[in-house]
Amino acid sequence: MATATRGTVMLASARDRVVDAVGEAAHLGHEARVLKTLAADAIEDGVHSAKRAIRRGAHEIEDLRDTAVSRVRRAPLASIALAGGAGLLLGIVVGWLGYCAAQPARTRTRTSADHGVA
């Protein structure tokens, strides 16, 4: 009879472990669904913020364009002079950078003649 009791206890223990494992799996599934929902909400908020920033940037660019047009209409010669000066400065900088990039590195090796040794 001791064998039957031991088998029943082992069966009950195995059954409890299976029930615990199923309960843990259900809990993990629920946690995964919650995390999925949170991630989807965060992505949706990010997309909404990006769209709002794009719209705001487009409005700011339009305002900048309108301001530039009004300034050119008020002072056309000053605008032309400013644009010409900016173009000249940009051309000088680009030309100087191109000249510096085209020059070989000015490194030389020292010889005994450089040190005064014959």
* 3 domain-assigned: no
pTM to 2 decimal places: 0.46
* 112 domain-assigned: no
* 69 domain-assigned: yes
Q: For residues 20 and 117, which has the higher predicted lDDT (pLDDT)? A: 20
* 22 domain-assigned: yes
Pairwise CA distance, residues 76 & 80, whole Å: 6
* 87 domain-assigned: yes
Residue 75 belongs to what domain range?
Answer: 10-99
* 110 domain-assigned: no
Residue 109 confidence (pLDDT) above 70: no
Contact 71, 79 (CB under 8 A): yes
Pairwise CA distance, residues 42 & 45, whole Å: 5
> What amino acid is encoded at 50 in this protein?
A
Residues 47-103: tens digit of each pLDDT: 999 999 999 999 999 999 999 999 999 999 999 999 999 999 999 999 999 998 888
Contact 72, 79 (CB under 8 A): yes
* 116 domain-assigned: no
E strands, the chain, in order: none
Three-state secondary structure call for residue 110: coil
Q: Give the total number of structural domains in the chain.
A: 1
Per-residue pLDDT band for 30 (boundaries 50, 70, 90) equals very high
* 41 domain-assigned: yes
